[in-house]
């Protein structure tokens, strides 16, 4: 009897106490096991990064010089069917190779001609760069959590994420740059990966011309420094280098055959013009320009800058003392990007974006050493919470400040009054003038002509009727209305006015554009 009661008691206790406890412990174990898997964090960061990049990509705009230019060139390539030449405003554009314009045209083929399609290639390759950090970190180190920290640092770099939402080549170039480095590191163990390295180098060259050779310089210096120069005799590396040179050469040679010396002079003119000059003023500008990028990083690269500096110092010591593979690569990477771009005349922080993956790796190495194992889970949860809050804020805040707002409002008006084979004239004292012109070209789907002198504008108006013109409102009211010409005002914004000259002597009063909605995606 007593034994029977003991058995019954034990059975009830098991079901009422032990069994639920076991279930709870099993669930906690599964959660803990899931959170301890690197793959889980890889996919989670990838999804969160995608959400941050694409949350408002469809309601953005194309501002400045580069965005509208690349979008216009991609649209022209798609509609004209000329995928081998790059055309800008009705003329051949020899300044840039075609790869990014190809991506623009492909995106517009798939998504339709829109601001979203113009920015999608850069956003996708920005996401790709974040993913490459994970694989690069796994190749360079056996520290399990280093890939996760590297991804989080790059996602948390505001300037990188901001540039990834622009229709410009900088982030795309950074992706191919990083992919070439990854192919090189994998090639140290599996030489066939040098094929991937060569294809990525070719893509980098077809994106930014001779600047695409910078990762090749990094790779060669790294091989010599770590004592692996014997790989230069590897058939796989030779094939990779042949692809790196041969694929872009197809396009370069064809352009030379089609257009001759004009292609060579115009394609390399920007690079030549930005080389440092040997005169006194050039050398002084060169000396002062060396500090430009460090100062820009001090202003913008927080909170990661102290971690990057610590990581750079530690890896430099490893490079000098041990010829460490990872340390040597990251130090050479940073130096080979920072030094050349510090020497050229024109400087912008986005030019050194190819160094940002190396910055992320250096900061991640410092984080990995500073965060104890017991604090990793809490740190990751905080990072994911911040990313989730950012995504929520983007979702709950539908407002977006459209930067070229006035041009977007006037562009449909100018387009409606301008035949497809005519130009829209633009005269403005507001800088940057060329940015305004290319915004008009993109949003009006017409060619444009920028006039830089008021006398040139007056001369064109006196001899050309029915020509659509966009100019500053004060220029129109203070100068043009005093002419013995008659104007038809088509639309007006706060600072600009769109009109056509007619064949009479009195002016029609300007009428403001009201209740004109800005299209979310210009088609």
pLDDT, one tens digit per residue, over 144-193 is 889 999 999 999 999 999 999 999 999 999 999 999 999 999 999 999 99
Whole-number pLDDT of residue 156: 92
Residue at a domain's end among 396, 431, 457: 396
Instruction: Examine the domain organization and report whether 413 and 389 are in the same domain.
Output: no
Give counts: helices (H), strands (E), the chain.
24, 7
> How many domains is the chain partitioned into structurally?
2
Instruction: Examine the domain organization and report whether 418 and 387 are in the same domain.
Output: no
Q: Are 141 and 326 in contact (CB under 8 A)?
A: yes
Whole-number pLDDT of residue 402: 61
State how far the Cα of 183 lies from the Cα of 369, in Å rounded to an integer: 27
Whole-number pLDDT of residue 483: 83
Instruction: Report yes or no on 391 lying in a domain.
Output: yes
Residue range(s) defining the domain that contains residue 176: 38-396
Whole-number pLDDT of residue 8: 39
Instruction: Examine the domain organization and report whether 75 and 141 are in the same domain.
Output: yes
Whole-number pLDDT of residue 517: 39
State how far the Cα of 46 lies from the Cα of 299, in Å rounded to an integer: 28
Instruction: Examine the domain organization and report whether 108 and 77 are in the same domain.
Output: yes
Q: How many CA atoms lie within 13 Å of 221's alpha carbon, on the beta-carbon side?
A: 18
Cα separations in angstroms, 507 against 185, 463, 495: 69, 17, 19
Residue at a domain's end among 396, 424, 457: 396
Instruction: Examine the domain organization and report whether 346 and 454 are in the same domain.
Output: no
Instruction: Examine the domain organization and report whether 70 and 88 are in the same domain.
Output: yes
Whole-number pLDDT of residue 15: 43
Instruction: Report yes or no on 513 lying in a domain.
Output: no
Instruction: Examine the domain organization and report whether 79 and 163 are in the same domain.
Output: yes
pLDDT digits (tens, 9 = 90+) for 437-457: 999 999 999 999 998 888 888
Q: Are 339 and 349 in contact (CB under 8 A)?
A: no
Instruction: Report yes or no on 326 lying in a domain.
Output: yes
Residue at a domain's end among 370, 396, 422: 396
Instruction: Report yes or no on 492 lying in a domain.
Output: yes
Question: Would you tell me how many other CB atoms lie within 10 Å of the CB of residue 82?
Answer: 12
Instruction: Report yes or no on 520 lying in a domain.
Output: no
Instruction: Examine the domain organization and report whether 421 and 365 are in the same domain.
Output: no
The alpha carbon of residue 203 and the mean position of all alpha carbons in its chain are separated, in whole angstroms, by 15
Instruction: Examine the domain organization and report whether 337 and 474 are in the same domain.
Output: no
Instruction: Examine the domain organization and report whether 388 and 450 are in the same domain.
Output: no
Whole-number pLDDT of residue 281: 54
Whole-number pLDDT of residue 251: 95
Instruction: Examine the domain organization and report whether 85 and 47 are in the same domain.
Output: yes
CATH number at residue 478: 3.40.190
Whole-number pLDDT of residue 273: 64
Instruction: Report yes or no on 508 lying in a domain.
Output: no
Q: Give the chain's length.
A: 523
Instruction: Examine the domain organization and report whether 388 and 410 are in the same domain.
Output: no
Instruction: Report yes or no on 308 lying in a domain.
Output: yes
Contacts of 133 (CB under 8 A, 6+ apart): 147, 150, 151, 154, 178, 357, 360, 361
Instruction: Report yes or no on 514 lying in a domain.
Output: no
Q: Are 93 and 87 in contact (CB under 8 A)?
A: yes
**Residue ranges, the chain, pLDDT below 70:** 1-32, 64, 270-289, 395-396, 398-403, 464-466, 503-523
Contacts of 303 (CB under 8 A, 6+ apart): none
């Amino acid at each position: 009897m007593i034994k029977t009661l003991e058995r019954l008691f034990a059975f009830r206790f098991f079901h009422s106490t032990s069994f639920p406890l076991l279930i709870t412990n099993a669930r906690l174990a599964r959660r803990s096991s899931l959170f301890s898997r690197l793959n889980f964090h890889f996919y989670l960061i990838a999804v969160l990064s995608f959400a941050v990049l694409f949350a408002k990509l469809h309601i953005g705009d194309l501002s400045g010089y580069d965005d509208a230019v690349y979008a216009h060139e991609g649209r022209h390539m798609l509609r004209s069917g000329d995928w081998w030449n790059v055309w800008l405003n009705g003329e051949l554009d020899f300044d840039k190779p075609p790869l990014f314009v190809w991506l623009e045209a492909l995106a517009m083929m798939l998504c339709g001609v829109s601001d979203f399609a113009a920015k999608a290639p850069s956003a996708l390759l920005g996401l790709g760069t974040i993913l490459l950090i994970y694989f690069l970190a796994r190749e360079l180190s056996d520290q399990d959590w280093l890939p996760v920290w590297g991804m989080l640092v790059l996602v948390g770099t505001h300037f990188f994420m901001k540039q990834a939402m622009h229709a410009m080549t900088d982030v795309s170039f950074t992706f191919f740059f990083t992919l070439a480095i990854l192919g090189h590191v994998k090639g140290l163990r599996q030489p066939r990966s040098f094929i991937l390295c060569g294809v990525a180098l070719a893509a980098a060259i077809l994106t930014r011309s001779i600047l695409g050779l910078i990762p090749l310089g990094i790779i060669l210096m790294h091989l010599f420094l770590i004592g692996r120069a014997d790989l230069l005799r590897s058939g796989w590396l030779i094939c990779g280098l042949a692809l790196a040179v041969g694929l872009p050469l197809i396009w370069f040679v064809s352009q030379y055959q089609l257009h001759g010396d004009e292609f060579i002079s115009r394609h390399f003119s920007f690079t030549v013009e930005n080389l440092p000059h040997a005169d006194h003023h050039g050398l002084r500008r060169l000396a002062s320009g060396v500090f430009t990028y460090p100062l820009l990083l001090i202003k913008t690269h927080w909170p990661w800058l102290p971690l990057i500096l610590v990581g750079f110092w530690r890896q430099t010591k490893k490079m000098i003392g041990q010829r460490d593979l990872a340390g040597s690569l990251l130090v050479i990477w940073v130096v080979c990007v920072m030094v050349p771009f510090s020497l050229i005349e024109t400087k912008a922080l986005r030019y050194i974006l190819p160094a940002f993956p190396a910055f992320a790796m250096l900061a991640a190495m410092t984080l990995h050493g500073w965060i104890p194992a017991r604090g990793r889970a809490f740190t990751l949860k905080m990072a994911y919470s911040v990313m989730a809050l950012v995504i929520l804020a983007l979702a709950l805040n539908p407002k977006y400040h459209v930067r070229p707002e006035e041009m977007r409002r006037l562009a449909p008006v100018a387009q409606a009054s301008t035949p497809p084979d005519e130009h829209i004239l633009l005269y403005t004292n507001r800088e940057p003038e060329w940015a305004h012109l290319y915004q008009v070209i993109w949003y009006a789907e017409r060619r444009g002509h920028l006039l830089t002198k008021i006398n040139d504008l007056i001369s064109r108006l006196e001899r050309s009727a029915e020509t659509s013109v966009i100019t500053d409102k004060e220029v129109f009211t203070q100068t043009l209305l005093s002419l013995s010409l008659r104007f038809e005002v088509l639309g007006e914004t706060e600072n600009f006015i769109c009109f056509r000259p007619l064949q009479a002597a009195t002016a029609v009063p300007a009428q403001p554009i009201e209740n004109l909605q800005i299209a979310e995606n210009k088609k």
